[in-house]
Amino acid sequence: MDAAPAERLDGPVARLDAVEVDYPRGPALGPFDLALWPGEIVALVGPSGCGKSTALRLLAGLEQPSRGDVVRATGRGETSVVFQAPTLMPWASALDNVALPLELSGVARETAHGQAAGALERVGLAAALRAKPAQLSGGMAMRVSLARALVTEPRVLLLDEPFAALDEITRRALARDVHALWAASRPAIVFVTHNVEEAVFMASRVVVMTPGPGRLAGETRVEAPLPRPDDFRLGSVFHAAVAQVSDRLERAMAQAGG
């Protein structure tokens, strides 16, 4: 049940094999399988309590399975996580927040700050290097979190409902930002969301989970290039994929209830 180095894999950069997670209140996840391939974007969707975030924590190494195996990138900085809340140090500037993972890994402060400044520039915050979290909007704070996650150039980026607390306009702008950042370095991404349309827009593969303990209900491949064009949400591929994912989700809910 221990995590194994990703180098042992012949293909996927991370993998969940028949994982199950039990909490004191009962089973939370599984059995559940997921293979994450280099450079792909996968969205996990499902009802509240189905274990989406639990699966993400397994991939992050923040939790161990009760049963099954987790194979993941275990090197320092190879896996980065962005949570729903920005989780920034309130007393530190945006620059210091982004530089933190580099400094913790032993990078000299001057070098770390130079790389952090570059990461903030990539997310459109070159003018906010010295701003404290309280001086940032919700969208800006999330961009700082994204810059901090990407400054180590991870192989795997895990996003746990990062846009959930934001308004629709900001959500869409950040979705485009994530795609632009992905295009620059091509990390494998797992994106957790409750929003079917957001999942289809973000990912090339949408994995639908059953009500908890979450299992695989099915997956939909979105046959369209990434990053998405501006008019992607208006096209037939988008609407067909949304309909298929929604149908899988409804069927899973109905089977669980009946």
Give the pLDDT confidence of 16-45 residue by residue, as tens digits. 999 999 999 889 998 999 999 999 999 999
Q: Is the N-terminal amide bond of 213 cis, ω within 30° of 0?
A: yes
Question: Where residue 2 falls among pLDDT bands split at 50, 70, 90?
Answer: very low
What is the maximal distance between C-alpha atoms in the chain? 60
Closest of 239, 60, 25, 35 to residue 157, by C-alpha = 60
Q: What pLDDT sits at residue 75?
A: 65
CA distances from 173 to 102, 133, 145, 166, 183 (A): 27, 20, 15, 11, 16
Hey, is 224 helix, strand or coil? coil
Question: Where residue 195 falls among pLDDT bands split at 50, 70, 90?
Answer: very high
Report the percentage of the chain scoring pLDDT > 90. Answer: 68
Least confident segment among 7-21, 101-115, 178-192, 225-239: 7-21
What tens digit of pLDDT does each residue of 119-159 get? 999 888 999 999 999 999 988 998 899 999 989 889 999 99
Give mean pLDDT, residues 108-122. Answer: 93
Reported as type and span, the H/E element at residue 221 is strand 216-221
pLDDT at 88 over 70: yes
Instruction: Assess contact for 182 and 41: CB atoms under 8 A.
Output: yes
Average pLDDT, the chain: 89
φ, ψ of residue 47 to 5 degrees: the values are: -70, 160
Question: Where residue 77 falls among pLDDT bands split at 50, 70, 90?
Answer: low
CA distances from 49 to 53, 120, 173 (A): 9, 34, 28
**pTM, rounded to two decimals:** 0.90
Report the percentage of the chain scoring pLDDT > 70. Answer: 93
Instruction: Assess contact for 165 and 194: CB atoms under 8 A.
Output: no
pLDDT at 163 over 80: yes
Hey, is 17 helix, strand or coil? strand
Reported as type and span, the H/E element at residue 168 is helix 168-185
